[in-house]
Homo-oligomer: A and B are copies of this chain.
């Protein structure tokens, strides 16, 4: 790895108690370029602009995929990644489906550790605080031909992230729009999937909802995901989540929730969830909770489901009664080193590169 430290650190201007998530960037980034059939050197460099023309294939043909993950700082200042190997595997699944070159462990995992290590001072400390990390691969060849690019960039950029406390939201069960086709790219963290979801989400917001529960595009009879999260439903004391498929992203949080629920002795059923069954359960009172899970906010609890023009209310459970909240607490405690880690999910980031 080639390391080029910044000579103009911006850290002294960074206030961990008052910053804007998403557009405050840490001092460095990782970049690595692909050309002539192979990846070049991994470089840790100052965060900043590169040169691209509007003919860059990444923005013309959407060959681009990404990951979203976090680093957490415990009360002693130790820094941890959470199951980074899952994101490494997933970015390569995404890359394969988009006909892009896969990245190596050295690029992804070592790059991640070096970046988090050198910029560890940027990681805010405290309940729910973290560093949000964005590895991505995108096509960089400049060519106006609808074909696979010959040049790519792998990059890792990062932004400090605040507490993930969120209010319960109302979600609309989609009856027209969809995010994934059979034989499509729904399981990949493909850039284009996100752009496609914005307009339907705006329409749902105009109807008084905050998010969408995506359903299958052919019949809208089955739950798929919720916003950019995987979805869980609790009926009586059993929790349900759809099996992953070519239409559903294999979320790290989803997988962690399933394991944590089993550990708590909660019955988990991984099976298709019928909209009809959820609505019926709401009507007969057996529907206890519906929530989404993902790295960004861990859990978003739903307070109402929009279906057929009706806004169906969900019960308000206390933190103790709620499986969503209990499992979130279990997960957050592991992530931030407040509890044992029986699954071996935490990966400590050693001090190697001192910013001195």
Contacts and interface: CB of A to CB of B under 8 A. Distances in A.
Nearest to A192: B192
A3 interface: no
B142 A198 contact: no
A59 B195 contact: no
Please state the number of chain copies in the assembly: 2
A184 B194 contact: no
Interface of A: 21-23, 25, 29, 31, 47-55, 58-64, 66, 68, 96-99, 132, 134, 136, 138-139, 141-148, 153, 155, 157-159, 174, 176-185, 190-196, 198-200, 202, 217-218, 228, 296
A9 to B, nearest CB: 17
Contacts of A50: 51-54
Given A23-B142, A144-B132, A191 B54 contact: no
A22 B23 CA distance: 34
A98 B180 contact: no
A195 B136 contact: no
Nearest to A141: B23
Nearest to A176: B183
Given A184-B181, A192-B191, A198 B58 contact: no
A138 B55 CA distance: 11
A218 B134 contact: no
